Amino acid sequence: MSDLTFAKPSRWRDLLTRVCLLAISSILLTFSFAPYSQFYLAWIGMVPWLLALRGTRNIYAAIGWGFIGGVIFNAISMTWLIHATLLGTAALVGYTSLFWALAGAIVHATKALEPRRWHPAVAVLLIATVWAGCEWFRGWLFNGFQWMFLGQTQSPILAMCQVADIGGVFAVTFWVMCINALIVITVMHRAPSPRTRGEGWGEGPPVASETRISPDPSPNLSPSTGRGVGLASLFAALIVIFTLLYGLFRISQTQTTPGPRVMVVQPDFAHERGGARTVTWEHQAEYHLAETAKALANEKGVDLVVWSETVLPPMNAEARRRAKDPRLSTGIHDDVLALVRKHATSLVFGAYALVTFDKSEADADIRNATYLYSAFRDDQLRYDKIHLVPYGESVPFKKSIPWLHKLMFQMAAYSVNYLITAGALDDLRIFDLPTADSNAKWRFVTPICFEDIDGRLCSRMFRPTPDAPGVKRAELIINISNDGWFKGNMRRQHFQNAIFRSIENRAPTARADNTGISGFIDSVGRVDQATLMPEDTSGIRVATLAIDPRLTFYTRFGDVFGAACFVISIAACIVMFVRDRRRAALSLQTHL
């Protein structure tokens, strides 16, 4: 009994140590992302989290500690969402943390942190594979939430990000995680393993003989183990060196041709808490028409003007015909046409589309859309947003489980009283940019707002058709966003994320965001600092985009690398389970 009494301080010390490790990991990772952009911290940011998982006696403990680590990090990183919805923030923090729990479970199930179960080099690769695979799974399940992926931290060193044109951001995550895993594996082979009973996560009651931390019975670093760690270091170094050389090669290989001259407009109309507008449709329309006209008078040869997301009221033909106020429909429509015709240009802007007209807004078919008006064509084209923002534009179970839908609607942004209908995935609109020069033929896609963080969707927009298998379907990304709903670090993190869509598809981006950040990104991820418009400012910038004809592996095949990492992770779990069952059976036969 006395042994148990004296063991309790050790147990609580172990709990406190793990919590501190998780907190340290969260702080390191937070500062590695934008706006702090201390990218090198990501190389060690996952080390404390992995050390906290080390020595957990069962999978429930690994799930618990993995989840806690995710909650701490996500709670710090997603404070920007509170401005739109408090309940939604809590739900999203909990949901994204489940994937940290999943990663913890897989790391435990594969025995990747147990010294004698895998060769050190294999353990390093396995841990990196597990994390990259779980990131992919988070980005894929239920359309995913592709935010705060580890690879995104490396945008300040673009040479190390070019591998994204093969494996997406997950390929960058992989090499970053290799460095973290190598550090942990090295520490693991030199230090005792903190194994205790009664850690607080499914460990059962404390047992006197097992409550104190006991050293691993293996020597700290035997010659064979030292060679194994050395080989693991060599493997990790080769991966990093290959990534660097590949990146330098792809940057030097870039051969571009001059593309369209594009103007982006940033109005800076802030939103109230919960997303409510602070200006009327009339004011937004008047501002954009007037400021754009003045800018076009001074800037000759602009091929395309870009306004941000939902700057105008519904502009589809049926909505204009049914509108109660002609000034808010036909009047604005005519003014926009007059603008583009006077200056011989084209205009892309965001506005709603009303497809059906039910008595209740909740039952109407409302689309978040991009429109193209041009002086060189008589009709107006439209793209309907496909990947909707959960709890901001869509809430699940509306028809299948109505009572659950009503409950989940309480988590939506405060100003939301209707839902958006998603566009069809098969209706990915590729816009042809008409110009005065009939020989200049450019095509572009318009991912709306958070669609530009969805690498899988954007790659599909560019993917070649069977009729032209060796040519991208488009050359440009025109992103329209409205980040005025949010505060804090969100806008810089959103822009950081968008950089990878240009790298993955070798396509320059022109980005118009209501409250910032607006600007231009080239096909290797370089940001044009001279034309960058910071958040919470208004302005207009013009740049000539450079066309990069390269067709990438990622554009062709999408997230195959990330998906393969997840499949390999599950396969490793199965292999270890079968191996342990066989070992247990042999042990039983030996004792019999």
Q: How far is 316 from 333, CA to CA, in rounded Å?
A: 9
**557 close to 454: Cβ distance less than 8 angstroms:** no
- 239 and 293, same domain (yes or no): no
| pLDDT digit string (tens) for the chain, length 592 residues | 444 444 456 888 889 999 999 999 999 999 999 999 999 999 999 999 999 999 888 999 999 999 999 999 999 999 988 887 788 888 889 999 999 999 999 999 999 998 788 899 999 999 999 999 999 999 999 888 899 999 999 999 999 999 999 999 999 999 999 999 999 999 988 765 555 443 434 343 343 333 333 444 444 555 666 788 899 999 999 999 999 999 999 999 988 999 999 999 999 998 766 556 778 889 999 999 999 999 999 998 999 999 999 999 999 988 888 888 878 888 999 999 999 999 999 999 999 999 887 655 556 788 999 999 999 998 999 999 998 887 667 666 666 777 766 666 666 665 555 678 889 888 899 999 988 776 668 999 999 999 999 999 999 999 999 998 999 999 999 999 998 888 889 999 999 999 999 999 999 999 999 998 999 999 999 999 999 999 999 999 999 999 999 999 999 999 999 999 999 999 999 999 888 888 877 776 776 5
Going by the DSSP 8-state scheme, the letter that residue 424 receives in this structure is P
- Strand 431-433 and strand 442-445: pairing? antiparallel
Q: Tell me how far the alpha carbon of residue 519 is from its chain's centroid.
A: 19
pTM for the structure as a whole: 0.90
Cα separation values, 337 from 260, 297, 328, 348, Å: 20, 16, 14, 12
Assess if residue 494 is contained within a domain. Answer: yes
Judged by phi (left if over 0) then psi (alpha if -120 to 50, else beta), residue 430 lies in beta
> What's the DSSP call for residue 567?
H
Within a domain: 411: no
Does residue 274 share a domain with residue 142? no
Number of domains composing the chain: 2
Long-range contacts of 585-589 (CB under 8 A, 24+ apart): none
Same domain? For 304 and 247 the reply is no
Q: Kindly provide the residue ranges of all beta strands, DSSP E only, lying in 249-345, ordered along the sequence.
A: 257-266, 304-306
Distance (Å, rounded) from C-alpha 501 to C-alpha 459? 8
Under 8 Å between Cβ of 483 and 490? yes
- In the chain, what are the helix, strand and coil shares in percent, each to the nearest 5? 50, 15, 35
Same domain, 306 and 177: no
Looking at the fold, whether 276 and 153 belong to one and the same domain comes out as no
Tokens of 509: 């981006």
How far apart CA 110 and CA 118 sit, in angstroms, is: 9
Q: Distance between CA 128 and CA 155 in Å, rounded?
A: 19
Which ranges constitute the DSSP H helices of 168-222?
169-188
Q: Are 180 and 45 in contact (CB under 8 A)?
A: yes
Question: Is there a domain that residue 311 lies in?
Answer: yes
510/368 Cα distance (integer angstroms): 19
Sign of CA dihedral 406, 411, 412, 416: positive
Residues 345 and 466 in one domain: yes
**Is 399 a domain residue?**
no
DSSP 381: E
Q: Is 516 helix (H, G, I), strand (E, B) or coil?
A: coil
Cβ count near 321 (within 10 Å): 9
Confirm if 378 and 346 have CB atoms less than 8 A apart: no
| Order of strands, sheet of 381-384, starting from the edge strand that comes earlier in the sequence | 381-384, 366-374, 346-354, 304-306, 257-266, 539-547
Do 272 and 126 share a domain, yes or no?
A: no
* C-beta of residue 387 within 8 angstroms of C-beta of residue 422: yes
Residue 369 host element (H or E): strand 366-374
Q: Which domain holds residue 191?
A: 2-253+559-591
Residue 458: inside a domain: yes
For the domain that residue 343 is a member of, what is the CATH number? Answer: 3.60.110.10
**Per-residue confidence (pLDDT) for residue 388, from 0 to 100:** 85
In a domain, 422, yes or no: no
What's the CA gap between 544 and 259, in Å, rounded? Answer: 6
DSSP 390: B
Q: Pick from 19, 208, 229, 22: which is nearest to 123 by CA?
A: 229
Same domain assignment for residues 143 and 291: no
Q: Residue 245 falls within a domain, yes or no?
A: yes
For residues 262 and 241, state if they share a domain: no
Interaxial angle between packed helices 223-252 and 169-188, expressed in degrees from 0 to 180 and rounded to the nearest 10:
160
Token couple for 530:
């001279």
Distances (CA, A) of 148 to 53, 392, 450, 497: 21, 19, 13, 8
Residues 71 and 189 in one domain: yes
Asked which of 515, 530, 549 is the last residue of a domain, the reply is 549
Asked if residue 524 and residue 587 are part of one domain, the reply reads: no
Q: Is residue 358 part of a domain?
A: no
Q: What is the chain's length? A: 592
Are 237 and 287 in a shared domain?
A: no
